[in-house]
């Protein structure tokens, strides 16, 4: 089963997106801020990480950079989620090594498409 | 001021100015001197010949002295033409002054000697010299010198024993005394009156310019204040937007989850209700997003993200989103992308957004018809056309279709965009990408919207965009200042009302010279220039404005009464507008020239701007 790590500080969003992803056949684990996101990535080694950007103290860019710097987690695709569709956000996401980028509120079919595009053929969810 | 200028003999100017060399028209002072010169040379000889003919009447048959007298008076009529041909004003004025003193002394010498009735004419010599050449020390010395030299010359002839010739006995000359004095008085009065008229209107003009400058400074301050307020508004909107999105997230997300649950459990009624909540949430989200983006665009904070865009995929993706909605309304949605188009360099997100807006509108306003998305490229531009066979749009509404909903006069326009913001936003996004959106429509037959964007936004565009941004920045720095120059107060008032209402800061000038001075001092973003003006016509003024490097970035619109506008672009005009002024055409033209009203400025600027300008009106 494909494992997704969702790093999101808003409880509603975490709950919603987690439930919907589970329903689509993913196994979802959660982190509520940047540092715990980096820790969870090490411990759980998920197939995909969904990274909220506005996370408080350590933001999503910084967390992604730490994940990409670590040889154990560097290969895990990260999809950044931001509230704005700013060009600066998009170029930033490329810069820190995100595989893709999406805006909130999440359009689930579109996000699923992006998740599947990141996965190697065998790991795809049903 | 307008009234006093009206007194000036405008029709006469048309004749006079034909003789004035182009170079002298550039400066108000030199033009005035040239006109003085021309008036005295065109009308003076008539008064002079009154005397020469009177002498012919009372005297014997014309002899050499009379013919010379007659000839040198007539010679004055040649001066305007000489000025026209050579353009040498100062030498001609000097020769003219010399000719005048010689003529007068010649007349005195031959007709009456020391007690000649022509002596009063001597006072016209310094007077005219000062009119032509000003009253500088050099001029004073010169005039005195030539009067003395001429007097000395005649005295020499007299003292060498020639005495005064007596062509006519002194007793007979008493009649000539009256004629001569009256003519000299008329001449001096004519010149003095003309000079007084000019001096008066000049000081009026100066006062008026000063007053307008103060008004403009206040306007500028008000504009700056409005811009600061606008900045605060943008920040507030960005924060508010974030605060609104968070709860909206929950509404949209949870309603979607429940909807999915309800569909699985086949709870029909609940599905319908939840769908409504979900749709309303999405609608609200789009409204907020559009509002924020429009405010970002107005604040100049919208950025371009240029990447390689797969046009075929983008169009297919948008079309697939609306297949269901189209089918539900009985519409056939077809896509026709030219196979030759592979990818373009552009901003995918913004292009997609504009296309979504057009497709969603087309699907919404078409029932049992067709919606066709066509993509074509000519190597330079990509054109994506969305054509529908829907209800169509009324002709008069087409003009305001892309205006913000706050600006359009009828609320029904909002029917054509989900929020009334969608189309204006899409158009501005396309313009940001150096493209545009055009529309054609026939009521009852359907509409056709075309997006046009450059195929290579990146190639050389970075510099170009920077250049454009810098230019926009310069325009912004000048605010939304618009200078209108027209001799017709009714036109000025109309322009002022339209522009102020729209959020521009209008300043008006009722004459060409006043306009020129104001333009140099204010450096307005836009100058509206009437072609037919007395003193200096619009074309001449246009040339002068374009010579000034500081006004290089000012856009200039010519106001004409006919379509004879070929001159405009050659002389540096950016556009022209045909009188009578059509409000929509004017505003569209101004916006097309890249001059934007002070954002949200109308409300803040309205009061002070209009009050100040009303005060400045005479």
Average pLDDT, chain B: 80
One domain for residues B203 and B236: no
Å between A112 CA and nearest CA of chain B: 15
Same domain membership, residue B468 and residue B543: yes
B556-586 tens-digit pLDDT: 888 877 666 667 777 778 888 877 788 888 8
Mean pLDDT of the region B204-217 = 79
pLDDT tens sequence across A3-61: 999 999 888 889 989 998 998 899 999 999 999 999 999 999 999 999 998 888 888 99
Domain count, chain B: 4
CA distance A60 to chain B (A): 17
E-strand stretches of B168-207: none
B480 and B612 in a single domain? The answer is yes
Per-residue pLDDT at A11: 87
Q: For residues A86 and A48, which has the higher predicted lDDT (pLDDT)? A: A48
| A91 neighbourhood in chain B, CB within 8 Å | 305
Do B195 and B327 fall within a single domain?
no
Does some domain include residue A86?
yes
Domain shared by B50 and B195, yes or no: yes
Q: What's the rounded mean pLDDT across residues B57-81?
A: 88
> Which residue in B548, B549, B547, B529 sits closest to B539, CA to CA?
B529
Q: Is residue A122 part of a domain?
A: no
Q: Is residue A21 part of a domain?
A: yes
Q: Is residue A112 part of a domain?
A: yes
Residue B219 and residue B480: Cα distance in Å, rounded?
10
Percent of chain A clearing pLDDT 90 (strictly above): 52
Domain boundary among B456, B481, B515: B456
Contact: B253, A87; criterion CB under 8 Å: no
CA distance B3 to chain A (A): 57
Q: Is the pLDDT reported for residue B374 higher than 90?
A: yes
Task: Give the H/E segment covering residue B227.
Answer: helix B174-264
Closest CA to B200 of B10, B12, B5: B5
Mean pLDDT of B509-531: 85
Give the up-direction half-sphere exposure of residue B75: CA atoms within 13 A in the CB hemisphere: 16
* SS3 assignment, position B412: helix
Instruction: Write down the ipTM of this complex.
Output: 0.75
pLDDT recorded at residue B459? 36
Specify if A126 maps to a domain: no
> From residue B112, how far is each of B67, B105, B107, B172, B184 by CA, in Å?
17, 11, 8, 10, 17
What number is the average pLDDT over the span B273-277?
91
B334 interfacial to chain A (CB closer than 8 Å): no
The reply to whether B254 touches chain A by the CB within 8 Å rule is yes
Asked if the structure places residue B221 within a domain, the reply is no
Residues of chain A contacting residue B285, judged by C-beta atoms under 8 Å apart: 105
Give the lowest-confidence range in B191-200, B348-357, B405-414, B542-551.
Answer: B405-414
User: Per the domain annotation, does B514 fall within a domain?
Assistant: yes
Give the domain extent around B179: 2-214
Per residue, the 3-state secondary structure of B290-359, as one string, reads HHHHHHHHHCCCCCCCCEEEEHHHHHHHHHHHHHHHHHHCCCEEEEEECCCCCEEEECHHHHHHHHHHHH
CA distances from B166 to A1, B50, B551 (A): 135, 20, 66
Is A121 domain-assigned?
no
Using CA atoms, how far apart are residues A60 and A73, in angstroms rounded to an integer? 15
Interface contact flag, A20 B249, Cβ < 8 Å: no
Angle between helix B89-110 and B78-86 (nearest 10): 160
Specify which of B234-238, B375-379, B493-497 reaches the highest per-range mean pLDDT. Answer: B375-379
Residues of B in contact with A10 (CB under 8 A): 246, 249
**Among candidate residues B401, B435, B456, the one where a domain is terminated:** B456
B256/A108 CB distance under 8 A: yes
pLDDT digits (tens, 9 = 90+) for B417-474: 445 788 888 998 998 888 999 998 888 888 999 999 998 875 334 434 444 544 454 4
Q: CATH number, domain at A88?
A: 3.40.50.2300
Looking at the structure, tell me whether residues B59 and B141 fall in a common domain: yes
**B315 and B275 fall within a common domain:** no
Residue B412 lies in a domain: yes
Q: Do B254 and A23 touch (CB under 8 A)?
A: no
In this prediction, residues B4-17 reach a mean pLDDT of 62
Radius of gyration of chain A (CA): 13
Cα–chain center distance at B157? 63
Q: Quick check: B472 and B594 in contact, CB under 8 A?
A: yes
Q: Are residues B332 and B443 in the same domain?
A: yes
Of B357-371, B475-489, B500-514, the one with minimum mean pLDDT is B475-489
Q: Which helix (H) or strand (E) holds B508?
A: strand B505-509
Looking at residue A84, what is its pLDDT?
Answer: 65
Among B275, B298, B321, give the residue marking a domain's end. Answer: B298
Q: How far apart (Å, rounded) are the C-alpha atoms in residues B369 and B446?
A: 9
Q: What percent of chain B has pLDDT over 70?
A: 88
Option in A12, A20, A90 nearest B249 (CB): A12
Q: How do B446-454 and B436-442 pair as beta strands?
A: antiparallel
Checking if the pLDDT of B393 tops 80, the result is yes
The answer to whether B305 faces chain A, any CB pair under 8 Å, is: yes
Report yes or no: B515 and B541 within 8 Å, Cβ to Cβ: yes
Q: Are B500 and B613 in contact (CB under 8 A)?
A: yes
What domain range includes position A77? 3-116
B4 touches chain A (CB under 8 A): no
Task: Kindly report the nearest CA distance between residue A92 and chain B, in angstroms.
Answer: 11
Res B565: pLDDT: 62
**Residues B87-114, mean pLDDT to the nearest whole number:** 88
The burial class, CB within 10 Å (0-12 / 13-18 / 19+), for B35 is buried
Query: How close B252 gets to chain A, by Cα (Å)?
Result: 8
Dihedral in degrees, nearest 10, Cα atoms B423, B424, B427, B429: -110
Q: What angle do CA B220, B226, B227 make, to 5 degrees?
A: 90
One domain for residues B431 and B510: no
- Do B101 and B9 sit in the same domain of this protein? yes
Give the per-residue SS3 of B116-166. CCCHHHHHHHHHHHHHHHCCCHHHHHHHHHHHHHHHHHHHHHHHHHHCCCC
Element (H, E) at B448: strand B446-454
Contacts of A68 (CB under 8 A, 6+ apart): A74, A78, A96, A97
- Pick from A85, A88, A106: which is nearest to B349 by CB? A85
Contact list in A for residue B257 (CB cut-off 8 A) is 16, 19-20
User: Among residues B500, B475, B440, which one has the least CA distance to residue B596?
Assistant: B475
Entry pTM: 0.47
Quickly tell me which residue has 């729209």 as its tokens: B502
| A72 located within any domain | yes
SS3 B528: strand
User: Do A12 and B253 count as a contact with CB atoms less than 8 A apart?
Assistant: yes
Q: B307 vs chain A: nearest CA distance in angstroms?
A: 10
pLDDT bracket for residue B75 (50, 70, 90): very high
Q: Helix/strand/coil (H, E, C) string of B370-388?
A: EEEEEEEECCCEEEEEEEE
Residue A78 lies in a domain: yes
- My answer on whether B469 and B412 are in the same domain is no
The average pLDDT across B407-420 equals 47
Average predicted confidence (pLDDT) for chain A: 87
Instruction: For residue B282, give the chain A residue with the closest CA.
Output: A105
Number of domains chain A contains: 1
pLDDT of B462 reads 42
- pLDDT value at residue A7: 95
B277-314 per-position pLDDT tens digit: 988 888 888 888 888 888 778 777 777 878 788 899 88
Q: Are residues B241 and B146 part of one domain?
A: no
On whether any CB of chain A is under 8 Å from the CB of B301, the answer is no
Number of neighbouring beta carbons within 10 Å of residue B518: 22
Of the partner residues A12, A83, A86, the one whose CB lies closest to the CB of residue B245? A83
pLDDT in tens, B115-135: 788 888 888 888 888 888 887
Output B511 or B96, whichever has higher pLDDT. B96
């Amino acid at each position: 089963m494909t494992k997704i790590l969702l790093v999101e500080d808003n409880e509603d969003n975490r709950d919603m997106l987690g439930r919907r992803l589970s329903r689509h056949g993913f196994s979802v684990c959660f982190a509520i801020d940047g540092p715990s996101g980096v820790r969870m990535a090490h411990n759980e080694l998920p197939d995909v990480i969904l990274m909220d950007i506005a996370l408080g103290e350590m933001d999503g860019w910084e967390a992604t950079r730490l994940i990409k710097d670590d040889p154990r987690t560097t290969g895990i695709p990260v999809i950044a989620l931001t509230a704005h569709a700013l060009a600066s956000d998009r170029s930033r996401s490329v810069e820190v090594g995100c595989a893709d980028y999406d805006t909130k509120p999440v359009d689930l079919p579109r996000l699923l498409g992006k998740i599947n595009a990141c996965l190697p053929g065998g790991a795809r969810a049903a | 001021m307008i009234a006093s200028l009206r007194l000036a003999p405008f029709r006469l100017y048309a004749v006079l100015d034909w003789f004035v060399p182009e170079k002298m028209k550039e400066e108000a002072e030199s033009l005035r001197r040239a006109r003085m010169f021309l008036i005295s040379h065109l009308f003076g000889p008539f008064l002079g010949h009154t005397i020469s003919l009177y002498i012919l009447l009372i005297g014997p048959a014309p002899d050499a002295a009379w013919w010379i007298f007659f000839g040198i008076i007539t010679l004055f009529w040649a001066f305007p033409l000489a000025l026209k041909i050579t353009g040498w004003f100062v030498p001609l004025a000097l020769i003219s002054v010399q000719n005048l003193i010689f003529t007068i002394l010649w007349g005195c010498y031959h007709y009456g000697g020391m007690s000649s009735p022509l002596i009063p004419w001597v006072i016209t010599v310094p007077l005219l010299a000062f009119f032509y050449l000003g009253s500088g020390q050099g001029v004073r010395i010169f005039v005195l010198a030539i009067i003395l030299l001429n007097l000395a010359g005649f005295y020499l002839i007299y003292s060498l024993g020639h005495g005064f010739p007596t062509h006519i006995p002194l007793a007979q000359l008493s009649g000539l005394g009256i004629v001569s004095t009256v003519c000299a008085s008329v001449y001096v009065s004519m010149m003095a009156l003309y000079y007084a008229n000019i001096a008066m209107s000049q000081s009026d003009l100066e006062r008026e310019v000063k007053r307008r400058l103060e008004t403009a400074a206040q306007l500028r301050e008000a504009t700056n204040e409005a811009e600061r307020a606008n900045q605060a508004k943008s920040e507030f909107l960005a924060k508010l937007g974030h605060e609104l999105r968070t709860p909206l997230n929950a509404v949209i997300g949870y309603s979607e989850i429940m909807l999915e649950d309800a569909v699985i459990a086949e709870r029909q009624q609940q599905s319908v209700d939840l769908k409504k909540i979900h749709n309303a949430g999405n609608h609200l989200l789009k409204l907020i997003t559009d509002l924020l983006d429009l405010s970002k665009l107005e604040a100049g904070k919208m950025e371009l993200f240029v990447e390689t865009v797969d046009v075929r995929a983008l169009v297919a993706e948008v079309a697939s989103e609306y297949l269901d909605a189209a089918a539900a309304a009985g519409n056939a949605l077809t896509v026709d992308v030219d196979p030759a188009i592979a990818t373009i360099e552009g901003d995918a997100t913004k292009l997609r957004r504009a296309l979504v807006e057009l497709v969603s509108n087309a699907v919404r306003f078409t029932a049992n018809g067709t919606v066709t998305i066509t993509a074509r490229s000519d190597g330079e531009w990509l054109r994506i056309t969305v054509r529908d066979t829907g209800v169509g749009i009324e002709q008069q509404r087409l003009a305001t279709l892309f205006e913000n909903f706050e600006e359009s006069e009828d609320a029904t326009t909002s029917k054509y965009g989900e929020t009334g913001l969608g189309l204006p936003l899409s158009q501005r996004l396309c313009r940001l990408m150096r493209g545009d959106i055009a529309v054609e429509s026939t009521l009852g037959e359907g509409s056709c919207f075309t997006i046009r964007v450059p195929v290579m936004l990146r190639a050389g565009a970075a510099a170009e965009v920077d250049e454009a941004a810098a230019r926009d920045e310069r325009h912004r720095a000048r605010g939304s200042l618009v200078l209108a120059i027209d001799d017709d107060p009714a036109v000025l008032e109309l322009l002022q009302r339209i522009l102020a209402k729209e959020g521009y800061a209008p300043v008006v000038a009722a004459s060409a010279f006043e306009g020129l001075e104001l333009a140099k001092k204010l450096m307005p973003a836009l100058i509206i220039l009437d072609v037919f003006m007395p003193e200096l016509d619009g074309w001449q003024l246009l040339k002068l404005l374009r010579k000034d490097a500081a006004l290089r970035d000012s856009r200039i619109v010519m106001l004409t009464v006919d379509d004879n506008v070929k001159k405009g672009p050659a002389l540096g005009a950016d556009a022209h507008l045909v009188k009578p002024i059509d409000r929509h055409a004017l505003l569209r033209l101004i916006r097309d020239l890249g001059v934007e009203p002070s954002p949200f400025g109308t409300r803040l600027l309205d009061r002070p701007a209009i009050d100040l300008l009303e005060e400045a009106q005479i």
